[in-house]
Amino acid sequence: MINGIINVYKERGFTSHDVVAKLRGILHQKKIGHTGTLDPDAVGVLPVCLGSGTRLCDLLTDTDKVYRAGFVLGMATDTQDASGRILSETEVSLEDTAIREAALSFVGAYDQIPPMYSALKVNGKKLYQLAREGREVERSARRVQIGRIEIHSIERISSASLALVDDDTSVAGIPLADTPELPEKILVTMTVACSKGTYIRTLCDDIGRKLGVGGCMTSLERIRVGRFDMDHALRLGEIEAMAAQGRLSAFVTPVDEMFMDLPRAVIREESVKLLHNGNPLGAGCVACDMDFSQLSHGQQVRVYDRDGTFAAIYSVEKSRREFKVVKMFGDFFGAGK
Give percent above pLDDT 90 in the chain.
63
Spatial separation of the C-alpha atoms in residues 31 and 329, rounded to whole Å: 13
Is 125 a residue whose pLDDT tops 90?
Answer: no
Which of 115-129, 190-204, 246-260, 297-311 is predicted with the least confidence, judged by mean pLDDT?
Answer: 115-129
pLDDT at 175: 47
Do residues 149 and 107 lie in contact, with contact meaning Cβ atoms separated by under 8 Å? yes
pLDDT at 330: 80
Which tops the pLDDT comparison, 290 or 61? 290
The residues, any chain, with a CB within 8 Å of residue 32's CB and separated by 6 or more, are 20, 23, 24, 48, 49, 50, 54
Q: What is the pTM of this model?
A: 0.85
Spatial separation of the C-alpha atoms in residues 290 and 234, rounded to whole Å: 38
Residue 13's pLDDT band, with cuts at 50, 70 and 90, is: confident
The residues, any chain, with a CB within 8 Å of residue 323's CB and separated by 6 or more, are 265, 280, 281, 282, 283, 285, 286, 301, 303, 314, 315, 316, 317
Q: Is 125 helix (H, G, I), strand (E, B) or coil?
A: strand
Is 307 a residue whose pLDDT tops 70?
Answer: yes
The residues, any chain, with a CB within 8 Å of residue 146's CB and separated by 6 or more, are 106, 107, 108, 110, 192, 193, 194, 195, 198, 203
Quick one: average pLDDT of 243-267?
Answer: 94
Quick one: average pLDDT of 224-229?
Answer: 93
Question: Which DSSP symbol is given to 185?
Answer: E
Q: 154-188: per-residue pLDDT in tens?
A: 998 765 555 454 444 444 445 443 454 566 789 99
Spatial separation of the C-alpha atoms in residues 214 and 204, rounded to whole Å: 9
Query: What is the chain's mean pLDDT, rounded?
Result: 86
pLDDT at 315: 96
Say whether 39 is catalytic.
Answer: yes
Spatial separation of the C-alpha atoms in residues 236 and 248, rounded to whole Å: 12
pLDDT at 337: 36
Spatial separation of the C-alpha atoms in residues 44 and 200, rounded to whole Å: 14
The number of helices, as runs of H, and strands, as runs of E, in the chain is 8, 20
pLDDT at 317: 95
Do residues 58 and 220 lie in contact, with contact meaning Cβ atoms separated by under 8 Å? no
Residue 63's pLDDT band, with cuts at 50, 70 and 90, is: confident
Backbone φ and ψ of 313, nearest 5°: -110, 130
pLDDT at 37: 80
Q: 82-102: per-residue pLDDT in tens?
A: 888 888 888 888 999 999 999
Do residues 50 and 32 lie in contact, with contact meaning Cβ atoms separated by under 8 Å? yes
